[in-house]
Structure 1
Amino acid sequence: MDKKPRFAALDSSHAPFVSGSLSPAISVLIVDDEPGMRNFLIKALSKRFALVESADSIETAEEIRKRCHFDLIVCDIKLPGRSGIEWHEATTDNERRSDIIFMTAYADLETAIEALRAGASDFILKPFRLEQMMAAIDRCVERRLMARENFVLKRELNTVYSSGSAMLGESQVIRDVDSIIRRVAPTPSAVLIEGESGTGKELAARALHENSGRTGAFVPVNCGAIAADILESELFGHTKGAFTGAQKAREGLFSFASGGTLFLDEIGEMPLAMQAKLLRVLELKAVRPVGSEQEVSIDVRIVAATNRNLQEEVKEGRFREDLYYRLNVLTLTLPPLRDRPEDIPTLVHSFSRRLSKELGLPPVPLTHEDMSAISGYSWPGNIRELKNFVERCILLGRLPIETFVSGDTLSQNRETAQAEGRGYPSTWAMDEVEKHHILQVLSEFQGNKSAAARQLGISRKTLDRKLQAWDEAQGSES
């Protein structure tokens, strides 16, 4: 069938739409038996993507696809031989999965349904304007890039939780917490996590979930941040018309966490009436949506956390004793940061590496006196405060002494550390000690490299070489 009228009607005089927001690392395969359409799309897409290939039939396209993976395939439906919808290899290959945009000039509802069933990511009618095609490609590529980012993040989380320590730190108390997490994670038992605000209670809850082997989601809920009158609906869901404004039925967070873990943060803030309903759910392992007469079975692991003393709350009548014992199968107590100062250097370096990448800024070099002073600070906000401090350092490009308490505690701690002759933290590698020492001496001489080199007992050339190497390494990391 003649396809010339379709391409002739396409507005090819419009200036190509070029977006700089998408990665050129995306690869695209164009499949169309009409040379004019192929050339038109190749010219437009080559300006945006590093690899753009084309084919005039499914057979040729499949040969190309076997040699090279493509993130996106733009394919005409009506082709000689096999049609685009019949290209099952491209839509069922999980190892070389591609997003597919189908094109056709003979679309009807049945064709659209077939395309969606065949795994189409988008569907475009010919003739089309270039902006329409680019908008469809944008949607596919954004999903593709987001999937890649999610894969990387998940892999990083799995690396942390599967091979290393579940909780970051070298202190004995954190090693004990880590050991308990790994021991109880595979069990279905409820866990109550206690600790001051900012001690990493949600991180511990996530570690329990990641090591549990459960296939469902980790769903965090801040019980103190949800209004009491809607908390029941948020947790258990509701039916249509259950209350004013309930225009349609909605599943609750227990349902979203099915097969996974529900993290009830700040459980001590939950109203007493809601505590009774939660206790019933935990005992029956079923939820009753608001407005419904039927209960729905659930398979959810409960992890709760609080910065309150729940035993005192029970004595004062603000927390149900029976719910406390139901949640307190095992209590995990996270120590404040001031009780484990030996973990601070490890946390600082971890935050610095991660935040530098996120912010696109170089990390701030810290001397051993700086680190000793930071370790000597009480950190009333615990890990959360320390993380914010490291982020502030990176944003300012220096150590923000003025953010500490009055009296310049950090400077005092630095002077004390220097006077006592305390060395570098034992967690530092030798090259890291050398780098920080050289930068400290260079700072003392106000950047005078010749004077710093004489003080260090090395040549000016050696100093320049080391500084250049560090700058290059820092540039590649950022």
Structure 2
Amino acid sequence: MQQESATTMAAAEAGEFNWQAHSVLIVDDEEGMRNFLERTLKRRCGMVEAAADIVQAEALMARLHFDLLILDIALPGKSGIQWLHELREHGFAGDVILITAFADMDTAIGALRGGASDFILKPFRVDQILNSIKRCFERAGLARENFVLRRELAERSSDLLGLIGHSPAIQQLRGLIRRVGQMPSTVLLLGESGSGKEVVARALHQMSPRAQRPFVPLNCAAIASELIESELFGHVKGAFTGASETRNGLFYYAHGGTLFLDEISELPLAMQTRLLRVLEERKLRPVGSEREVPVDVRIIAASNRDLAAEVAAGRFRQDLYFRLAVVELRIPALRERVEDIPDLVQHFMTLLSAQLGVAPLALSHELVTRLAAYAWPGNVRELRNLVERSLILGGFPTAMLAAAQREPVAPAELDLTLEEVEKRHILRVVEACGGNKAEAARRLGVSRKTLDRKFAEWGERQPGDEPVRGVTPA
């Protein structure tokens, strides 16, 4: 075996590739080869373990996660190729490099057909095995990035909510993002639905040292409670009914980057406990698995509810709240930065007209004044929806302009709380939609689930309220 030169080491470690983010299991009954590979890789990779046979290897894999196996073909009891077939049948998705001193073309073809990532003959050079390992790690990284890109394309709507504007509130928020983004700390974003929490989370990610790694968003309110653990942590084949194959969770795809947990107040209490454990130990256990997987992920969480009040009500764990709220940022509602409305309308008009293939609409001073006078309970998302509908219809409809004109405030209404004003507006929109809550939610720029929760909360606090005229459970 050749000695490893300083030049080889420098070449293998050049560039932006992060060896420390990966784990390797070496399986070889030849002690010299096993020790050589272990010594070589421990200087680079985050975790390296070695086994002399498949029994030892299976014991290690039962409790630890490995991104890559370096597997000798000629092993006592069972060949490496036979074990490779078994691993693939049981859902192991990691890379496998097969090594052997005795092989012919048929063996090589059988190895690659069995799911091997590479096939190397002994004796090999140091740079030969290092380049093969690096290619495996880079392929795994590309698979993660492709998964993230597919999710981003499927959730493009949030990309349109840019941090547009020049108001003092937005300028102050930008300053905080520049400062907080560079820190590794967990961040909690608080703000109303549609105010742009995901945009702020993306900006924090772009300002961080993790900017070149994945940003993975998840709306906790959009996933059924019985599926959220599998969505985050992944599962092994056969873990539950319908788990026909092993599946990685979002923590896996966010490895080295940022995981954004929106509407985190919607997490069930049991899941809050599991998430807290992952944040504290930096390890997770896929559903149905006995092994722990190390994770390197920055968490940014967001909620449109007052999490301190949720803790007091027993709906959110206090220890998780403190763990998430290392840094707490509040996102201003659109009504708190009305001077940004002209910039936002122009931004959405330019962006959406190009996407829809229609000409932009003219913006009059009267229109902008009326839009600035509206309360915008759906915030920036509602404004974007209004611009998109107007482009599709070829103009801002009269009814829409009327809705954007603030009605004179009666003296008695000056004593109303913001919550009461919100309730009155939502009820008016629902009634205007003939009781169709799905349509009302769309017009308000919120989810149907959010609207249902509002009605449930009002029912709990004001059981004597009369039903809204014409409201049906659409």
**How does the TM-score come out when normalised to structure 1?**
0.51
Aligned: 1:226 with 2:223: yes
1:223/1:264 contact within 8 Å kept = yes
The residue that corresponds to 1:364 in the other structure is 361
Identity of matched residues, %: 53
Find the partner of 1:203 among 199, 203, 219: 199
Compare 274-283 and 386-395 and name the one that shifted more.
386-395
Shift of 1:166: 7.5
Find the partner of 1:186 among 178, 182, 192: 182
- 2:172 partner amino acid: D
Deviations 1:406-444 (A, max 9, x none): 6x727999xxxxxxxxxxxxxxxxxxxxxxxxxxxxxxx
- 2:227 partner amino acid: I
Aligned: 1:374 with 2:371: yes
CA distance in 2, matches of 1:318, 1:235: 20
CA distance in 2, matches of 1:221, 1:342: 31
- 1:183 partner amino acid: R
CA distance in 2, matches of 1:244, 1:403: 48
The residue that corresponds to 1:401 in the other structure is 398
1:68-467 equivalences in 2 (<5 Å): 167-214=163-210, 215-403=212-400, 409=405
Deviations 1:28-87 (A, max 9, x none): xxxxxxxxxxxxxxxxxxxxxxxxxxxxxxxxxxxxxxxxxxxxxxxxxxxxxxxxxxxx
Matched length: 257
**How does the TM-score come out when normalised to structure 2?**
0.51
CA distance in 1, matches of 2:397, 2:162: 30
Moved over 2 A (4+): 403-406, 408-413
Which structure would you say has the larger RCO, counting Cα contacts within 8 Å and 6 or more residues apart?
A: 2
CA distance in 2, matches of 1:405, 1:317: 42
Q: How has the CA–CA distance of structure 1 residues 331 and 411 changed in structure 2, closer, same or farther, with 3 Å as cutoff? A: closer
1:220/1:263 contact within 8 Å kept = yes
Shift of 1:244: 1.7
Structure 1 counterpart SS, 2:380: helix
CA distance in 1, matches of 2:327, 2:393: 43
Unaligned runs of 5+ in 1: 1-108, 114-146, 414-478
Which entry has the higher C-alpha Rg, 1 or 2?
1
Shift of 1:210: 1.6
1:392/1:400 contact within 8 Å kept = no
Deviations 1:154-177 (A, max 9, x none): 9xx9xx9xxxx9721111111111
Q: How has the CA–CA distance of structure 1 residues 207 and 166 changed in structure 2, closer, same or farther, with 3 Å as cutoff? A: farther
Unaligned runs of 5+ in 2: 1-107, 113-145, 410-474
CA distance in 1, matches of 2:176, 2:402: 36
What's the RMSD between the two structures over aligned residues? 2.8
Shift of 1:403: 2.7
1:166/1:207 contact within 8 Å kept = no
